[in-house]
Amino acid sequence: MNEYEQKILKCIKNREKSAEQIAEQSGLKLNGVYSTLELLADKNAVKMRIDEEVSYEITEKGRECIENGFPEEIVLKKASENALINQLEGAERSVGVGMAIKKGWISIKNGRLQITNDGIKILKEGYELKDLLKSRNANDELIKRGLLAKKIVKRKYASITEVGLKMLSEMPSSKQALIDRLSKEVIIRGDWKAAEFKKYNVTVPGETPILGGKHILKRFMQKIREIFVEMGFEEMEGGLVESAFWNFDALFQPQDHPARELADTFYLSNPKRINIDDRKLAGRIKRIHEKRWGSKWSFKEAEKAVLRTHTTAVSARKLHSMTLPQGKFFSIGRVFRNEAIDYKHLAEFHQVEGILAWDKANFRNLLWILKEFYRRLGFEKIMFKPSYFPYTEPSLEAHAYFKEKNSWVEIGGAGIFRKEVCKPLFNHYPVLAWGLSLERPLMIMLGIDDIRAFYKNDIKMLSKINEGALEWLL
């Protein structure tokens, strides 16, 4: 509400007033009052009423009559002096003589004006018509003679409405300037003590700040990390470049296993080989491979450098470095497959893996851990199916039920590491193990069809994905 609006509303607070009255009382300009009244009427703060008023104005001729006297008055005065009619000129002669005769004030005798008794009386008491003209009294004679003119005026009246009263009540009562931005000077000088604050429309959304934020995969990793730590697992980590020995041989995958082929695994030309430091361990692995798989085990093949195809290589190294016969460990890391990229497949993605080494561990413990782990991730209904991995026996797949899809979807593999894996590495058995891809459950939970969406790093897309995930990942 601006200053004009405030003043006008205050002015008509108690009763209806015309624009002119408002202008007069408020000291505002009449034009401004008119235009502001229009605005207030648009806001339904005032109700307008237009009234027609008749008034009379003294004409130029009338003003002369007041100043110099009516022609008949002049004639009357001359008659009192017995003047000759020929001495009269203009209006006195053309109008005044006739009027004075008609009113019975004078008569004419031998070319001279003679005053009557009525005339003497008027001279003594004054001319009534002149008073009427002065007070602009609607008099037919005056109008007819063109001394008084009739005028019609349209007048605007404004009265305050409920809305107007409300606006008025919300208005700061002080007459001081409103405080808009709260500046340092205002705060220090203490202006705010006496002043009012300009009111803002608090329902208008403000300007969104540029936000920092976590990547959805990292957010999900953190969630998984928390779950593992809550369940008593310790984190482990390994390098991306690994020897075939740790990636395959230590996990009892025969050297002619299809997964080791060029079509599935990235082999490196630099570095080409990675030395197997622990020759004793290599010897144990060699014996087991040759005993079980029948063919010769080659050091050269085992020393080939690869991009790790699974984080199970990290688990194998962990088992070998363990000093206690039991422990629980987990890892979350990048893994690589020499595959063509499409909406379902990436050459590089993340794997989550957990292991539990304990001489009393059993299959039912594995099922419990899987159920508990997946439950904490938000998958309530879990089912198990037989499966196969070269390094586990028994092996299984975990499937989760998705209400939205009304179907079971595979969400991870698990099993008990074979003796052939456990014994050479740390001479204890068994070890429960399970793994899942990081991206896949996220895709299912968030309804994302294209796995590449996570790595496109389009800020808009990422924040949209994040919105969908925030609550779930709490």
Q: What is the footprint of another protein within residues 102-141 (CB under 8 A)?
A: none
- x-marked contacts with another protein along 422-451 as a string, rule CB under 8 A: --------x---------------------
Q: Which residue(s) pair with 382 in the sheet?
A: 400
Specify the DSSP element, H or E, that contains 394: strand 392-402
**CB closer to another protein, 145 vs 418:** 418
Where are the alpha helices (H) located in 304-397, listed in sequence order? 312-321, 363-377
CA distance 8 to 43: 14
72 is written with which tokens? 């008949």
**CB closer to another protein, 151 vs 272:** 272
∠159-161-165 over CA atoms, to 5°? 110
Least spacing, CB of residue 344 vs another protein, in Å: 14
402 binds another protein (CB under 8 A): no
Least spacing, CB of residue 173 vs another protein, in Å: 43
Stretch that binds another protein, among 135-143, 158-166, 177-185, 394-402 (CB under 8 A): 394-402
258 binds another protein (CB under 8 A): yes
The one-letter code for the residue type at 75 is V
72 contact partners, CB below 8 Å, separation of at least 6: 95, 96, 99, 100, 103, 105, 127
393 binds another protein (CB under 8 A): yes
Stretch that binds another protein, among 1-9, 36-44, 191-199, 238-246 (CB under 8 A): 238-246
Which residues from 316-375 bind another protein, rule CB under 8 A?
326-328, 334, 336, 338-341, 347-348, 356, 358, 360-365, 367-372
- x-marked contacts with another protein along 175-214 as a string, rule CB under 8 A: -----------------------------------xxxxx
436 contact partners, CB below 8 Å, separation of at least 6: 351, 352, 398, 411, 412, 413
Which residues from 271-310 bind another protein, rule CB under 8 A?
271-272, 274, 292, 294-295, 305, 307
Stretch that binds another protein, among 53-61, 154-162, 173-181, 224-232 (CB under 8 A): 224-232
387 binds another protein (CB under 8 A): yes
217 binds another protein (CB under 8 A): yes
Would you say 267 and 304 are in contact if contact means Cβ atoms under 8 Å apart?
Answer: yes
CA distance 210 to 188: 31
Which is nearest to 384 in space by CA: 366, 358, 359, 357?
A: 366
